Amino acid sequence: MSNPMITRVEGSELVLERVFHAPRELVFKVFSEAEHLKQWWGPRGWNVTVCHVDFREGGVWHYCMKCEDKNQGDFYGFESWGKAVYQDIVAPEKIVYVDYFSDADGNVTEGMPSSQVTMTFIEEEGGTKLISRSRYESAEALDNVMKMGMEQGITETWDRLDEYVQSFSE
Quick: pLDDT tens for 123-138: 999 899 999 999 999 9
Backbone φ and ψ for 148, nearest 5 degrees, come out as -80, 0
CA distance linking residue 43 with residue 47, whole number of Å:
8
Instruction: Give the global pTM.
Output: 0.94
Which whole-number Å values give the CA distances from 84 to 58, 87, 141, in the listed order? 10, 9, 18
In a domain, 139, yes or no: yes
The CATH number of whichever domain residue 79 belongs to comes to 3.30.530.20
* DSSP summary character for residue 107: P
- Sheet harboring 6-10: ordered strands across? 6-10, 13-20, 127-136, 115-124, 94-102, 79-90, 60-67, 46-53
Burial of 75 (0-12, 13-18, 19+ CB in 10 A): middle
Quick: pLDDT tens for 75-102: 999 999 999 999 999 999 999 999 999 9
In a domain, 1, yes or no: no
In a domain, 97, yes or no: yes
CA distance linking residue 158 with residue 156, whole number of Å:
5
> Which residue range forms the structural domain that includes residue 28?
6-166
Report the number of distinct structural domains present in the chain. 1
